[in-house]
Amino acid sequence: MAFKIQGINMNLEEKIDIVKNILKGKKVAIGFSGGADSTLIAYLSSQVAKDTLAITINNHILPKGFVENTRKVTSLFGIKHQVIDINFYEDEYFLSNDSKRCFTCRNLMYSQIEQLAHQNDFDFICDGNNISDLVIDRPGILVTYEKGFKTPFIDAKLTSREIHEYLNKNNIPYFKSTTCLATRIPTNTPITQEEITRIGKCEDYVLANTNCEIVKVRNNGECALVEVDDLDEILKNNKYDQINDELKRQGFKKITLNLTPLDDDEFLSIDYKDSSFSYQLPFTINIENTEKELNLSGFDDKIELENITINENGLIEGHDLESYEDALDAFMEILPKIRRNV
């Protein structure tokens, strides 16, 4: 079966209109963290949906002020908001922190979101995944697919950069520090409440003593790796000396600084030349499950479509695409069809 993708290039407002049309008139339940993606979904839903319910999971391993921030945003939008308490410290498998931790985490949370949404007769359940998320090593996306959660931003081909652009342009408040603190601990290193507390204290100290908005302190054994969005804030006035001393008081023996600033403005770009492109995804692809999404069969280590080749090793190749814009659009069109390995 031929599967040919035609390029359809849209500006930001056109993409936002697609999202609004998807949400319009529906009873929308949203997995809500108060970060950029879920905030924009909630904001747009508050404008056009029949009813909106934001559902926040408090798993006890989130940054300080997380739940309070979600309440502030939902109150501002005038939408319903419920918080579900799940103590992840009581889940031994999650605490083992194996390579499937992100999949495990999302499965635990989305099961609760799904149950509460159905109990309240909300029949359209969605999250804030965007098209940029599909090229990052985040296996939790498989839970979104398996649960049948809707992904309006992916449908509209919105990137993280475009979402931030729209939020900033329209003065819509959101919070940048919403990621689970368990992500700071290497996989296959058991998660403990003591370690999460220590990491939280370290990040809170950096946030309180700088103007950084995004801070991550990663535990690499005896070494703490500090990552921030504004390196100047760490380097000016010898603040790094204070941070070094405080993190050592928290028990780390060596403190390092990532010289690459954190940037949550992810966007997509591809290598395009002579009507062809290539993109190497950071994960391998489950060919059998991807075939099912494409209603195809009979392929082995790669799927060859009319103008796209999907390789098992994660390499996506395109050909016979007239422009860079057409190639990028073709790439974004195929991404939601891809099913990765965990």
Question: What kind and span of H or E run contains 329?
Answer: helix 324-334
Q: Global pTM?
A: 0.92
Q: How far apart are CA 128 and CA 202, in angstroms?
A: 28
pLDDT of residue 9: 61
Contacts with 261 (C-beta within 8 Å, 6 or more apart), sequence order: 228, 229, 230, 231
Query: Rounded mean pLDDT of 327-341?
Result: 96
pLDDT of residue 10: 81
CATH number of the structural domain 181-257: 3.30.300
Q: How confident is the model at residue 7 (pLDDT cuts 50, 70, 90)?
A: very low
Q: How confident is the model at residue 4 (pLDDT cuts 50, 70, 90)?
A: very low
Q: How confident is the model at residue 264 (pLDDT cuts 50, 70, 90)?
A: confident
Tell me the residue length of the chain: 342
- In the chain, DSSP assigns E strands to 27-31, 51-58, 80-85, 124-126, 215-220, 223-228, 254-257, 271-273, 276-280, 302-304, 308-311, 315-318
Greatest Cα pair distance, the chain, in angstroms, is 63
CATH number of the structural domain 12-169: 3.40.50.620
User: Hey, where are the domains in the chain?
Assistant: 12-169, 181-257, 271-337
**End-to-end C-alpha distance for the chain, whole angstroms:** 28
pLDDT in tens, 46-105: 999 999 999 999 999 999 999 999 999 999 999 999 999 999 999 999 999 998 888 999
pLDDT in tens, 292-317: 999 999 999 999 999 999 999 999 99
pLDDT in tens, 210-221: 999 999 999 999
